[in-house]
Structure 1
Amino acid sequence: MDIKDSVAVVTGGASGIGAALARRFAADGARNVVVVDRDLAKAQSVADEVGGVAECIDVTDAAAVNGLVERTIARDGAIDLFCSNAGITTGVALDDPDDLWHRAFEVNTMAHVYAARAVLPAMLERGRGYLLQTASAAGLLTSPGDAPYAVTKHGAVAFAEWLSVTYGAQGIGVSVLCPMGVSTPLLMDPLAAGEPGAQAVAASGEILTAEQVADTVAAGLAEERFLILPHPQVGTFWAQKASDPDRWLAGVRRLVNR
């Protein structure tokens, strides 16, 4: 995936990892970067900074995502890279309100489905295109203290795998981004509140900046790696989990209890 002269769409682009991706793509020579967020003012600020276009949509609204794709293709001719980056945490467990579970599924899993449905037909017609889906280390491991987050991020990883298997031979590249601790409000706010899951993440490795994550993404896209792991130890943890699930689960329990 060559960013130079490409058209890239980034959802959740007004802050955090999304904003860092938009800046990095622009710096690497993207022809246009479409910064998508529910907060239009912040999206416009990032778009102005990178010389891109701001769009205000809800990624859980399939019709709105279709409109975003149609407008972008009408204006720019194509979408080369679609980054489904928007995500939420809930901080809830088993017995908490169903609406938070459903919202997590809509944002963290179904938004990837809506984006793929909207953008793949044009990519397949051209015979090329790339999907970058932001999941989380929680999608490979787990997320103590946030059951919906763990479950929906696993779903996001599984969907990315399915896309790669189904469309990889038709010119469609797929990468899934699985960072651990990143210095964004998604982690830092729960960490400041003493949320157990956030504390477990902070205890598991370095908290990276969003810019460091964007650097790893740029390298991963250039190499067309499926798994993009800003924290390399996530791959080690994942392998340990697969080789001995009982031992891995016992280790996570000890980490959380500590």
Structure 2
Amino acid sequence: MDLQGKVAVVTGGAGGIGAALAARFDAEGATVVAVDRVALDGVRVCDVTDAEALRVLVGGVIAEHGGIDLFCSNAGIATGVGLDDPDDLWHAAFEVNLMAHVYAARAVVPHMLERGSGYLLNTASAAGLLTSPGDAPYAVSKHGAVAFAEWLAVTYGDRGIGVSVLCPMGVATPLLMDPLAAGDPGAQAVAASGDIVSTEHVADVVVAGLREETFLLLPHPQVGTFWAQKASDPDRWLAGMRRLVNR
């Protein structure tokens, strides 16, 4: 996908990866609609866990700009909880990290099918391919996000709709840096697994991946190696993860 002249919607666009994507897409010549739950200049307010709100957002962007070429379902949250923590945090993680992708696809895919073209970029995480020590809801919901992106690609890939899933590891955003500063074991395990990259680096990888229409976008290439090791010998991989967390 060449972004020049395209209309792109980016959720979670007020900060972090979303803001970097919005800025880079704009620099590439796209018309960008940044969306977030917070009210900031240049950012439209929308709760991505509200299916009707997303439907209204999509309809409004189509009416205003004539269509949507790229929808980036990027908003995400971490919880830092485990097995015995309150159900509301589990539900929140699933709503933002997984169901928001479903609601967005429901809203925009019919439009893309009617046009015969379109692109979906869903932000998941390396945790969706591997795991996330210290944050069970994050790991589980991000696995679901990867699985849903795979389903979209299989179902609509031959009908004019491209699909990519973004799976970064450590990125310098508050989602990682705040828990890391607090000494969170899960964040420390992420930091020990590879470089903490900038959001601008992530945006560079995304633009290159969209250009090639690559499904799996990995700002940390070693994630692909870890993923292959996990698949080839799960018991060895799990033992290695336990050693990493214990260290």
TM-score interval, normalised by the smaller of the two chains = over 0.9
3-state SS of paired residue (1:230): coil
Superposed CA deviations along residues 130-162 of structure 1, whole A, max 9, x for unmatched, are 000000000000000000000000000000000
Cα shift at 1:77: 0.4
Give the counterpart letter for 2:133 in structure 1. P
Q: Distance between the aligned counterparts of 1:104 and 1:201, measured in 2?
A: 19
Q: Distance between the aligned counterparts of 2:38 and 2:121, measured in 1?
A: 21
Give the corresponding residue for 1:51. none
Cα shift at 1:6: 0.2
Are positions 1:213 and 2:212 aligned together? no
Superposed CA deviations along residues 167-188 of structure 1, whole A, max 9, x for unmatched, are 0000000000000000000000
Give the counterpart letter for 2:197 in structure 1. L
3-state SS of paired residue (1:40): coil
Superposed CA deviations along residues 33-84 of structure 1, whole A, max 9, x for unmatched, are 001001112xx2xx3xxxxxx3101100000000000000000000000000
Q: Distance between the aligned counterparts of 1:22 and 1:40, measured in 2?
A: 16
Equivalent positions of 1:52-91 (< 5 A) are 54-91=43-80
| Superposition CA RMSD, Å | 0.5
Give the counterpart letter for 1:25 in structure 2. F
Give the counterpart letter for 1:227 in structure 2. L
Give the corresponding residue for 1:227. 216
Give the corresponding residue for 1:17. 17
3-state SS of paired residue (1:10): strand
**1:108 aligned residue (72, 75, 97):** 97
Identity %: 78
Cα shift at 1:99: 0.3
Q: Distance between the aligned counterparts of 2:128 and 2:107, measured in 1?
A: 24
Are positions 1:191 and 2:191 aligned together? no
3-state SS of paired residue (2:236): helix
Give the corresponding residue for 1:144. 133
Give the corresponding residue for 2:35. 36
3-state SS of paired residue (1:169): coil
Give the counterpart letter for 2:24 in structure 1. R
Aligned length: 247
Unaligned 5+ segments in structure 1 are 48-53
Cα shift at 1:109: 0.2
Give the corresponding residue for 2:3. 3
Superposed CA deviations along residues 204-242 of structure 1, whole A, max 9, x for unmatched, are 000000000000000000000000000000000000000
TM-score, normalising length from structure 1? 0.95
Are positions 1:237 and 2:226 aligned together? yes
Give the corresponding residue for 1:123. 112
Give the counterpart letter for 1:178 in structure 2. C
Give the corresponding residue for 2:240. 251
Superposed CA deviations along residues 77-128 of structure 1, whole A, max 9, x for unmatched, are 0000000000000000001000000000000000000000000001000110
Q: Distance between the aligned counterparts of 2:77 and 2:160, measured in 1?
A: 30
- The runs of at least 4 consecutive aligned structure 1 residues that moved more than 3 Å come to none
Q: Distance between the aligned counterparts of 2:81 and 2:117, measured in 1?
A: 40
Q: Distance between the aligned counterparts of 1:203 and 1:149, measured in 2?
A: 18
Q: Distance between the aligned counterparts of 1:218 and 1:129, measured in 2?
A: 15
Q: Distance between the aligned counterparts of 1:197 and 1:129, measured in 2?
A: 36
Q: Distance between the aligned counterparts of 1:39 and 1:126, measured in 2?
A: 31
Q: Distance between the aligned counterparts of 1:58 and 1:182, measured in 2?
A: 24
Q: Distance between the aligned counterparts of 2:39 and 2:56, measured in 1?
A: 16
TM-score, normalising length from structure 2? 0.99
Cα shift at 1:26: 0.4
Cα shift at 1:2: 1.2
Q: Distance between the aligned counterparts of 1:9 and 1:190, measured in 2?
A: 29
